[in-house]
């Protein structure tokens, strides 16, 4: 077996060890691959300022946002319209999609994802 070890050293190694078994090399996890994982994240809009974390997550590019708009809808409809317009503009800027889901939720996706449209979902239109 020593002969094979010396031979291995001379010729730069092999993928087999001295017992004829295949050797494997473990690779470190790539941190970029972990960042590219898609995250489905819920948000709640209590006031207009709650739009900022949604926008930040969307701009990062790996978040599908599920936004509960009910608290702001019950509190101030004018602020709700302002918030939705802000979300729409950012969604268009990142080439994503936005849709209403039921009466109290929005779904916002980045450019690589699309929203299946059914009778329960509708486009968010200017009001």
Give the pLDDT confidence of 108-118 residue by residue, as tens digits: 999 999 888 77
Q: What are phi and psi of 39, to 5 degrees?
A: -115, 125
Give the pLDDT confidence of 54-107 residue by residue, as tens digits: 999 999 989 999 999 999 999 999 999 999 999 999 999 999 999 998 899 999
Domains observed in the chain? 30-123 (3.30.110.150)
DSSP annotation string for 34-86? HHTS-EEEEEE-SSGGGHHHHHHHHHHT-EEEEEE-HHHHHH-HHHHHHHHHH
């Amino acid at each position: 077996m020593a002969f094979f070890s010396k031979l291995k050293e001379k010729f730069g190694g092999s993928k087999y060890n001295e017992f004829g078994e295949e050797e494997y090399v473990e690779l470190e996890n790539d941190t970029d691959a972990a960042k590219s994982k898609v995250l489905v994240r819920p948000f709640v809009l209590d006031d207009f300022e709650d739009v900022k974390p949604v926008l930040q997550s969307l701009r990062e590019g790996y978040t599908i946002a599920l936004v509960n708009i009910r608290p702001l809808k019950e509190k101030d409809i004018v602020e709700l319209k302002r918030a939705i317009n802000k979300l729409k503009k950012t969604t268009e800027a990142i080439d994503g999609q936005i849709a209403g889901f039921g009466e109290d939720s929005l779904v916002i996706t980045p450019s690589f994802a699309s929203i299946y449209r059914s009778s329960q979902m509708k486009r968010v239109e200017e009001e």
